[in-house]
A and B are shown apart, each in its own frame.
Chain A
């Protein structure tokens, strides 16, 4: 998911990084047991050792865990840190932990398995009186005037070079983007839409709601969402507009059309997040009431990132509950490889047989080798 430069940037963001380190320093006592979920290159696990942890369980599902292992050895903490490759929800620990540290956010807290991972770890591993870092995150909703952000979504498709590109525009206005806007873009005082308290969060799904009263007339282009993070009772960082030292910035959710807003207009916002498989589907619903009059709805939008990507109907049908699938030629190749993976033949030997059986598919031996290697990585023990 992240490359080494991404990890470096996270560590270089001093507000966020020093906040995590300080929260960890205050939470780890001599002899503490610490769980670091999504350890990445292992920096938090190393700090936990430096602060006196007796044992650190560092879990990471990505190959960057090998960098973390090497770092532990080079810093003399290999004996204290137990690295576990995989997802925390699939792991068992031999003991309870005093501190859970996890930084699994994307630009917003709803990022893949973040919330289920925290809830699961708290329920299964956290000792009574233990702490979770971060402690809670508050998600804020605002309405913004930002013609430049909006242009990113629509300009190319509205110009269209004389062609009707409405189909592309429909996708673009259901796509959110990371931005860093100034507080002056806000047309109404923002409101906290939901607080995610990690000592209590259970399921992955959330709803954030706000009713904003416009104080500055202007053209509303969409919704701006960010989160404030309480790492502990005393340590806090924000991604609000103007806090440009924050690592995450804000997320802009465009409206289907710009809306002229007057002071006193009321904007009702409802943001829903549902985790399906490993990805969230987000829905943002907007109602603009002229001067707060429920009978005078000036704009009504129901948008979702479910409408933000091209879908192939034939491909979708193949996943339908009533579809009766039949293997195609590609499946025959994979089946051949899987059958040959019998614990006796090497990847190279299987690739040689594969080329012989499917000569039309594999002109070069390297192509067969790549195919077998891919299957081997996915399915061999």
Chain B
């Protein structure tokens, strides 16, 4: 089921779109949406999240991994993660679904 972007929560499954190809550039990354031809950029943290999403679709598991890797509060990290996933879902870069 396609979840409403505004209701996105950590319980969602997040899957990178098959129409997006990406490449890493010195720790940052460039995403290309093959349907629209639009490029998107991700900073180092965004790139880490995108990389984790390639193999881990459970958003809570992604959060836990980020908390292990970065010195950040859970509240801020989860907010930033959800914001990024919301933005990517809005652009069609990821699909979200309930468990």
Interface positions of A (Cβ within 8 A of B): 272, 274, 276-277, 281, 283, 302, 304, 306-307, 311, 313, 316-317, 319-321
Nearest chain A CB to B42 CB, angstrom units: 11
Residues of B within 8 A of A (CB): 21, 23, 25-26, 28, 30, 32, 34-35, 37-39, 41
Give the complex CA separation of A302 and B20 in angstroms.
12
Given contacts A276-B34, A313-B28, 19 further A-B contacts (CB under 8 A): A274-B34, A274-B37, A276-B32, A281-B32, A281-B34, A283-B21, A304-B21, A306-B21, A307-B23, A311-B23, A311-B25, A311-B30, A313-B30, A313-B41, A316-B30, A316-B39, A316-B41, A317-B41, A320-B41
Return chain B residues, CB-CB under 8 Å to A319. 39
Min Cβ gap B30→A in Å is 6
CA distance A313 to B34 in the complex (A): 19
| Least CB separation from A304: chain B residue | B21
Are A320 and B39 in touch, CB under 8 angstroms? yes
The reply to whether B25 and A283 contact each other, CB–CB distance below 8 Å, is: no
CA distance A302 to B28 in the complex (A): 19
Which one of B23, B28, B38 has the highest number of Cβ atoms from chain A below 10 Å of its Cβ?
Answer: B23
* Complex partner residue of A321 from B21, B26, B38, CB under 8 angstroms: B38
Complex Cα–Cα for A274 and B34 (A): 6
Shortest C-beta distance, B46 to chain A (Å), equals: 14
Contacts of A313 in B (CB 8 A): 25-26, 28, 30, 41
Asked if A276 meets B41 with Cβ closer than 8 Å, knowing A307-B23, A313-B25, A313-B26, the reply is: no
**In angstroms, how far is the closest chain A Cβ from the Cβ of B80?**
18
Cα A307 to Cα B25 with chains together (Å): 10
CA distance A274 to B37 in the complex (A): 9
Q: Smallest distance from the beta carbon of A162 to chain B beta carbons, Å?
A: 22
A96 to chain B, nearest CB (A): 33
Task: Give min CB distance, A240 to chain B, whole Å.
Answer: 29
CB distance from A301 to the nearest CB of B (A): 13
**Smallest CB-CB A-B distances: 6 pairs:** A276-B37, A274-B34, A307-B23, A304-B21, A306-B21, A306-B32
**What residue of chain A has the Cβ atom nearest to residue B40's Cβ?**
A320
Residues of the A chain whose Cβ atoms lie less than 8 Å from the Cβ of B28:
313
Point out the residues of chain B lying under 8 angstroms from A272, CB to CB: 34
B23 contact set on A, CB distance < 8 A = 306-307, 311
